[in-house]
Chains A and B, each alone.
Chain A
Amino acid sequence: MTQLAYHRPVSAAEAARLAAGDPEAKLLAGGQSIVPSLKLGLLAPSALIDLAGIPELRGIRLQGRTLTVGAMTTHAAVAASPEVRSSIPALARLAEGIGDRQVRNRGTAGGSLANSDPAADYPAAALALGAVLRTTRRPIPADAFFKGLFETALEPGELLTAMEFPVPDRAAYVKLPQPASRFALVGVFLAQTGGAVRVAVTGAAPCVFRVREMEEALARRFAPESLAGIGLAADGLSSDIHGSAAYRAHLIPVLARQAVAQALG
């Protein structure tokens, strides 16, 4: 591998300072996406800033109706957490369905969100639950966080520190996994809180997105039948060897109906 500088800060502030001082540096969370990219030569940063030695970035806390997950909390920890399982079981199941055992032991919730892979699971949860993403500088609502393909609102030198998930009345996540990677070919996360429903789709486009027509229909009546007749155009959706845009467009309402049924079950 290339020889690059390797930093291991002990606080989020120090990590943010290091990142701000070197625009070519990369923040390293669990490394489950970065390390393969380094090996393939898709990334050639000047330095890695390893966040593993920063205890303040880890942990899960449930206070009232807000579940806070530290950015460096692993998928395995989210999946096993009694706080997550009791407050937002759909989020625990989502974490349990990521990759495989080894990936879940290393990969982190914050790493997934900051990477904004178009087929990652966490962005759908953050967007559908209306999470607030806390950084070293500011709180960012999920609606303003995801900007495009591997692109977020995070600025150079800004470090994601924790996610605050409002606890919904009901939620569910259903994905059709790409069988080799377990990434979402398409995944639909929906959440109902009071009279409001949010529906977020991952895997189908360059960036996670909401489906307002489904949200409005489900807000009127939260039942699978409410989605009858709501179709999505294939225009702008992703097309690759795993599935055409038309196939992905077809999957979205199918998975959304399953998710409503699961949320009601």
Chain B
Amino acid sequence: MSQPIPLSVNGKAVTVEADPDTLLVTFLREHLRLTGTHVGCDTASCGACTVLIGGRAAKSCNVLLGQVSGEAITTIEGITPADGSLHPMQAAFKACHGLQCGFCTPGMIMSAIDLLTHHAHATREEVRAGLEGNLCRCTGYHNIVSAVMRAAQAMQAAGGGS
């Protein structure tokens, strides 16, 4: 049953007429055409669909649109600065080659941003454990962990994180 749901996506306020039991990932990809958020397993296992809800990582295939009424959603499209440059996390993934096929990368980056936001001084081991909700079937994770460590330095230098 369609009803108005107010929320903000990537800093823009929107009120949508939609079924509250629409999956958040379906809403982002099919209604807003924000296809950077990927659907991997569709069973809340792989984390490819990770977005930020109120600044905290969540699997958007496992959240209903009604649940995020009034919330601020950030997708991979929303983290790049207005000048089109890369977010420090994206730049670090590029520099460290923290991807191969790239399918898991948007979710990995959103999770890693949450991780560093709440744990700016994480060790390599803590980063590895902290990304347990995101699966990558290509890399073996080594370069992903290196990328997050590099991003941590860049984000601290830029005054981000806490």
Contact = CB atoms under 8 A, between A and B. Distances in A.
Interface of A: 1-6, 8, 28, 31-32, 35-36, 38-39, 48, 50, 52-53, 76, 80, 99-103, 105-106, 180, 182
A76 B56 contact: yes
Q: Determine the main DSSP class of A at the interface with B.
A: mixed
Contacts of A3: 1, 19, 21
10 contacts: A6-B64, A6-B66, A28-B67, A31-B63, A35-B23, A35-B64, A36-B43, A39-B43, A101-B114, A182-B132
A1 B63 contact: no
B161 interface: no
A31 B63 CA distance: 7
A5 B22 CA distance: 12
A36 B59 CA distance: 11
A8 B62 contact: no
A50 B21 contact: no
Interface string B67-80: 10110000000000
Interface in B106-159: 111, 114-115, 118, 130-134
A31 B64 contact: yes
Nearest to B110: A102
Interface stretch (B8-16, B29-37, B44-52, B88-96): B44-52
Given A3-B19, A6-B3, A52-B67, A36 B62 contact: yes
A48 to B, nearest CB: 7
Nearest to A38: B21
B69 A8 contact: yes
B149 to A, nearest CB: 17
Which A-B residue pairs are the 8 nearest by beta carbons?
A100-B133, A6-B20, A105-B56, A102-B133, A100-B132, A102-B59, A6-B66, A1-B21
A102 to B, nearest CB: 5
Interface of B: 1, 3, 19-23, 42-45, 47, 50, 53, 56-59, 62-64, 66-67, 69-70, 111, 114-115, 118, 130-134
A182 B45 CA distance: 11
Contacts of B132: 100-101, 182
B120 to A, nearest CB: 14
B105 to A, nearest CB: 16
Contacts of B114: 101, 105
Contacts of B23: 1, 35, 39
Contact of B57 (A5, A36, A102): A102
Given A5-B1, A100-B132, A180-B45, A50 B111 contact: no
Given A38-B21, A99-B133, A101-B114, A8 B45 contact: no
B62 A31 contact: yes
A1 B67 contact: no
A32 B59 CA distance: 10
Nearest to B118: A80
Given A48-B64, A52-B69, A100-B133, 11 more contacts: A1-B23, A6-B3, A35-B23, A36-B43, A48-B21, A48-B66, A50-B66, A53-B70, A76-B56, A103-B44, A106-B53
